[in-house]
């Protein structure tokens, strides 16, 4: 389950065109997938941001390529849903299709947030912020 497609979250899933987790199926939110992989997105960005965006897209495409080839990517619609004991929760903001995932087991819950904390001095010292 990928919270979002920034390279620091996806580039470890493959190496030189080979899936590091060949039996895995990647679950990615449709808005996130479309934002990064739709060729029209770059046209909506300011000119000075386009080259950096396209460089990021190439890294994302390379990371996803072996899973795309094996048809091991599932793009889910943008709504809260559940998959077994895992709930998908929209947490848009960091990226357009950012999702968090809540894993429930008996009376315990764990939420995978993926890049919600960016300022530890504010968010950890003053979590009410």
Specify the higher pLDDT residue, 93 or 33.
33
For residue 87, report the phi and psi dihedrals to the nearest 5 degrees.
-105, 135
Domains by residue range for the chain, with CATH: 7-123 (3.60.15.10)
Question: pLDDT-based confidence at 22, cuts 50/70/90?
Answer: very high
Write out pLDDT tens, residues 34-82. 999 999 999 999 999 999 999 999 999 999 999 999 999 999 886 667 6
Both tokens of residue 2? 């990928």
Specify the higher pLDDT residue, 116 or 31.
31
For residue 50, report the phi and psi dihedrals to the nearest 5 degrees.
-65, -45
Both tokens of residue 19? 């899936």
The strand ranges marked E within the chain are 14-15, 18-19, 26-29, 73-76, 81-83, 86-90, 99-105, 108-112
pTM beyond 0.85: no
> 116 pLDDT exceeds 70?
no
pLDDT score for 57: 97
Residue with tokens 């739709």: 38
């Amino acid at each position: 389950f990928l919270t979002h497609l920034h390279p620091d979250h996806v580039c470890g899933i493959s190496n030189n065109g080979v899936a590091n987790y060949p039996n895995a199926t990647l679950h990615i939110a449709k808005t996130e997938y479309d934002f990064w992989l739709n060729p029209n997105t770059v046209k909506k960005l300011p000119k000075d941001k386009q080259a950096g965006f396209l460089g990021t897209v190439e890294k994302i495409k390379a990371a996803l390529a072996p899973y795309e080839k094996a048809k091991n990517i599932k793009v889910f619609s943008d709504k809260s849903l559940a998959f077994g004991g895992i709930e998908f929760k929209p947490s848009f903001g960091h990226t357009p299709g950012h999702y968090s995932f809540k894993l429930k087991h008996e009376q315990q819950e764990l939420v995978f947030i993926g890049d919600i904390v960016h300022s530890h001095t504010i968010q950890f010292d003053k979590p009410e912020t």
